[in-house]
Amino acid sequence: MQVIDRRIQRTEELALLKGRMEQTAGTVLVTPYLTAHLARRCVELGLQFIDGAGNIHLRLPGLHLCIIGNRAPEDQDRFARNHTFKGFNRKGLQVVFGLLADPALLQAPYRELARATGVAVGTVGEVLKDLAEAGLLLNQGRKRALIQEDRLLEGWIANYPYKLRPNLNPRRYRALRPQGWPTDTLDPLQAQWGGEVAADRLTGHLQPARFILYTVVPPEKLATHLRLRPDPAGDVEILERFWHFPNPPGYPADLVPPLLVHADLIASGDPRNVDLARMIHVTHPAP
């Protein structure tokens, strides 16, 4: 029996996980907690699971176990019901991104953290308070430290495509001359590559078919510079950049931080991208 140990927060994650679990018969998902909705979806997909609250779905020779509806301990339940967790709302995701992508911001004053992540100073205080109450942030005097960072990382990746990304004014384009595109060098202060282009640069294992750019300039201006035309079905996507801090030394200045590369690859739903996301998580972990 093979075990997959990970936290699940959205039904879309189960669809991705199904393909991986079907590669080895008898694979079981072990997770801290599954809501009743997620547990029922696992049963519908034929996924076996065990969670820390005693929910279970197992099919063994001569035995079928299925228990759904046990509640999680209060702290885990609050985190699982992430619609009440400020760290995973739109602005909270921006703050958490800063903490994960640039650990120096953990010790920064509220005002500096707000400027770096594009939120109000009051939002910073609310998010940090929520993180501490959820057992994800430790305050020791003037020092702060993330606890269970992997748990926070998984939550950010799961929520980014639904709660923050749609608010980044995404627009699609197509190159006027696709052959050999892109040929222009980006000014990292104005735009950075994400998604498949960044994954190819970081791993060398992908021929990009879709192109993602994050920019601080008006999308139309960048599109003109790169000779792009609007196309709702285009393979080039331009989004607003929501963070305002540099990449660490040694990491390419014209690429978005690895956490965002990872999130966009997972959100694509393409199995090859999901595998590359895992590779990038290993080769370029959070600083």
pTM for this prediction: 0.73
Dist CA 5 CA 31 (whole Å): 6
Q: Is the pLDDT of residue 150 over 60?
A: yes
**Pairing, β 211-215 against β 236-240:** parallel
Q: What pLDDT shows up at residue 287?
A: 63
- Evaluate whether 46 touches 21 at the Cβ level (below 8 Å): no
Q: What pLDDT shows up at residue 229?
A: 94
Dist CA 243 CA 46 (whole Å): 40
Q: What pLDDT shows up at residue 93?
A: 96
What does the pLDDT average to over 46-52? 88
Q: Is the pLDDT of residue 209 over 80?
A: yes
Q: What pLDDT shows up at residue 153?
A: 86
Structural domains present in the chain: 3-67 (no CATH), 81-165 (1.10.10.10), 168-283 (no CATH)
Helices 149-163 and 90-101, packing angle to 10 deg: 140
Q: What pLDDT shows up at residue 37?
A: 86
What does the pLDDT average to over 257-271? 88
Q: What pLDDT shows up at residue 74?
A: 55
User: Residue 232's CB: how many other CB atoms inside 10 A?
Assistant: 8
DSSP H helices, 118-217, are 121-133, 149-163, 195-203
- Evaluate whether 139 touches 125 at the Cβ level (below 8 Å): no
Q: Is the pLDDT of residue 268 over 80?
A: yes
What does the pLDDT average to over 217-227? 92
